[in-house]
Amino acid sequence: MAVGSESKSKPIKRIVILGGGFGGVYTAQHLGKLLRGRSDVEICIVNDENYFVFQPMLAEVVSGNIGILDTVTPIGRIAPQANVYVRSIEHIDLAEQTVILSPGLAKHAAKLKYDHLVVALGNVTDFHKSPGLHAHALPFKNLADALRLRDRAIRVLGDARIEPDEMRRREMLTFVIGGGGFSGVEVAAELNDFIRRTAHKYFHIDPSEPRIILVHSHERILDREMPESLALYAQKVMRKQGVEFIFNRHVVSATPGFTLLDDGTRIVSRTLVSTVPSSPNPLVTDLGLKSDHGRLVTDGQLLVEGCSNVWSLGDCAAVPKSGGGGTCPPTAQFAVRQAKTLAHNIVAAIDGGKQQTFKFAELGKLAALGRRRAVGQLFNKINIHGFTAWVFWRAVYWAKLPGLDRKLRVAGSWLLEFMLPPDLVQTGVDRRRGLTEEFHEAGGCVFKQGDFGNRCYIIATGKAEIVHHDADGEERVVAQLGPTDCFGASEVLQDTAYPASVRCIEATKLLVVPKEDFLKFAEALPSLADRFNAINQKMEAAAAEYSANSATA
Amino acid sequence: MAVGSESKSKPIKRIVILGGGFGGVYTAQHLGKLLRGRSDVEICIVNDENYFVFQPMLAEVVSGNIGILDTVTPIGRIAPQANVYVRSIEHIDLAEQTVILSPGLAKHAAKLKYDHLVVALGNVTDFHKSPGLHAHALPFKNLADALRLRDRAIRVLGDARIEPDEMRRREMLTFVIGGGGFSGVEVAAELNDFIRRTAHKYFHIDPSEPRIILVHSHERILDREMPESLALYAQKVMRKQGVEFIFNRHVVSATPGFTLLDDGTRIVSRTLVSTVPSSPNPLVTDLGLKSDHGRLVTDGQLLVEGCSNVWSLGDCAAVPKSGGGGTCPPTAQFAVRQAKTLAHNIVAAIDGGKQQTFKFAELGKLAALGRRRAVGQLFNKINIHGFTAWVFWRAVYWAKLPGLDRKLRVAGSWLLEFMLPPDLVQTGVDRRRGLTEEFHEAGGCVFKQGDFGNRCYIIATGKAEIVHHDADGEERVVAQLGPTDCFGASEVLQDTAYPASVRCIEATKLLVVPKEDFLKFAEALPSLADRFNAINQKMEAAAAEYSANSATA
Task: State the SS3 of A38-54.
Answer: CCCEEEEEEECCCEEEC
Nearest-neighbour CA in chain B from A333: distance (Å): 24
CATH number at residue B223: 3.50.50.100
Q: Is residue A460 within 8 Å of A509, Cβ to Cβ?
A: yes
Q: Examine the pLDDT at B36 and tell me if it is beyond 80.
A: yes
CB distance from A46 to chain B under 8 Å? no
Averaged pLDDT score across all residues of chain B: 87
The distance of A517 to chain B (nearest Cα, Å) reads 6
A74 within some domain: no
List of E strands, A323-393: 364-370, 373-378, 382-385
Give yes or no for A429 touching B (CB within 8 A): yes
B252 and B271 share a domain?
yes
Nearest Cβ partner for A155 among B72, B86, B163: B86
Range of lowest pLDDT (A22-36, B346-360, B474-488)? B474-488
Domain of A310, CATH number, reads 3.50.50.60
Residue-wise pLDDT for A452-469, tens only, equals 777 888 888 899 999 988
B359 burial type by CB count under 10 A (0-12 exposed, 13-18 middle, 19+ buried): exposed
Q: What percent of chain B has a predicted confidence (pLDDT) above 90?
A: 48
Q: Which residues in chain B have Cβ-Cβ distances shorter than 8 Å to A433? A: 432-434
Average pLDDT of the segment spanning B295-307 = 95
Do B235 and B382 fall within a single domain?
A: yes
Residues of B in contact with A408 (CB under 8 A): 416, 419-420
Q: How far apart are CA A525 and CA A83, in angstroms?
A: 42
Across the interface, which of B427, B484, B527 has its CB nearest the CB of A524? Answer: B484
Residues A248 and A383 in one domain: yes
- The CA distance from B43 to the nearest CA of chain A, in Å, is 12
Write down the pLDDT at residue A3: 43
- A20 vs B93: CA distance, rounded Å: 53
Tell me, yes or no, whether B471 lies in a domain: yes
In a domain, A426, yes or no: no
Query: Is B310 inside any structural domain?
Result: yes
Task: State the greatest distance between any 2 C-alpha atoms of chain A, in Å, as a whole number.
Answer: 95
- Looking at residue B380, what is its pLDDT? 80
| φ and ψ of B118, to 5 deg | -115, 115
Strand order, beta sheet including A98-101: A89-93, A98-101, A110-113
> Taking a contact as any Cβ pair under 8 Å apart, which residues of chain B between 329 and 348 contact chain A?
none
Name the CA radius of gyration of chain A, rounded: 27
- CA distances (Å), origin B40, targets A206, B311, B347: 21, 20, 12
pLDDT digits (tens, 9 = 90+) for B68-77: 788 889 999 8
Average of pLDDT values for B79-99?
92
B252 and B148 co-located in one domain: yes
Choose one of A351, A376, A396: the last residue of a domain: A351
The residues in A 384-413 lying below 8 A from B, measured between CB atoms, are: 404-405, 408-409, 412
pLDDT at position B551 over 80: no
Specify the amino acid at residue B52.
Answer: F
Q: Do A428 and B432 touch (CB under 8 A)?
A: no
Q: Containing H/E element for A32?
A: helix A22-34
Is residue A71 in a domain? no
Contact between A73 and B159 using a beta-carbon 8 Å cutoff: no
Torsion of CA A429, A432, A433, A438, to 10 degrees: 170
Q: Are residues B157 and B92 in the same domain?
A: no
Task: Give the CATH number, domain containing residue B537.
Answer: 2.60.120.10
In a domain, A507, yes or no: yes
Residues A258 and A386 in one domain: yes
Domain count, chain A: 3
| Shared-domain flag, residues B262 and B372 | yes
Residue ranges making up the domain that contains B502: 436-552
Same domain assignment for residues A441 and A410: no
pLDDT at B350: 95
Closest approach of B520 to chain A, Cα-based (Å): 8
Best mutation target among A43, A44, A50, A87 (most B Cβ atoms within 10 Å) is A50
Question: Is A369 found in the same domain as A252?
Answer: yes
Check A435 against B50: CB less than 8 A apart. no
For chain B positions 287-306, those within 8 Å of chain A (CB to CB) are none
pLDDT digits (tens, 9 = 90+) for A220-270: 999 988 899 999 999 999 999 999 999 999 999 999 889 999 999 999 999
Same domain, B375 and B346: no
pLDDT digits (tens, 9 = 90+) for A110-130: 789 999 999 999 988 878 778
- For chain B, the first-to-last Cα distance in angstroms comes to 73
Interchain contact B1–A (C-beta under 8 A): yes
Of B73, B158, B525, the CB nearest to A84: B158
Domain termination residue (choose one: A322, A351, A380): A351
Residue B359 lies in a domain: no
Q: What is the torsional sign of CA A129, A134, A136, A139? A: positive
The pLDDT of residue B451? 78
**B432 at interface of A, judged by CB pairs closer than 8 A:** yes
Query: Which of the listed residues A328, A351, A374 is the one where a domain comes to its end?
Result: A351
Residue B213's nearest CA partner among B249, B167, B163, B255 is: B249
In a domain, A358, yes or no: no
Q: Are residues A205 and A328 in the same domain?
A: no
Neighbours of B381 (CB within 10 A): 8
Element spanning A521, H or E: helix A515-524
Q: What is the reported pLDDT for A528?
A: 65
B452/A108 Cβ within 8 A: yes
Whether residue B194 contacts residue B341, with contact meaning beta carbons closer than 8 Å, is answered with no
What is chain B's alpha carbon radius of gyration, rounded to the nearest angstrom?
27
Across the interface, of B161, B408, B531, the residue whose CB is closest to A420 is B408
For residue A5, the model assigns a pLDDT of: 41
Which of A528-532, B63-67, B455-459, B474-478 has the weakest average pLDDT?
A: A528-532
Cβ <8 Å between A1 and B452:
yes
Say whether residue A437 is in contact with chain B using an 8 A CB cutoff: yes
Q: Which residues of chain B are within 8 Å of residue A49 when distances are taken between CB atoms?
A: 426, 428
Residues of chain A with pLDDT under 50: 1-9, 551-553
Does residue B240 share a domain with residue B347?
no
pLDDT at B1: 36
List the single residue in A with minimal CA-CA distance to B109: A452
Q: Which residues contact A437 (CB under 8 A, 6 or more apart)?
A: A134, A135, A460, A509, A510, A511, A512, B520
Q: What is the pLDDT of residue B241?
A: 94
Considering only CA atoms, which of A389, A502, A405 is closest in space to residue A445?
A: A502
pLDDT at B59 over 70: yes
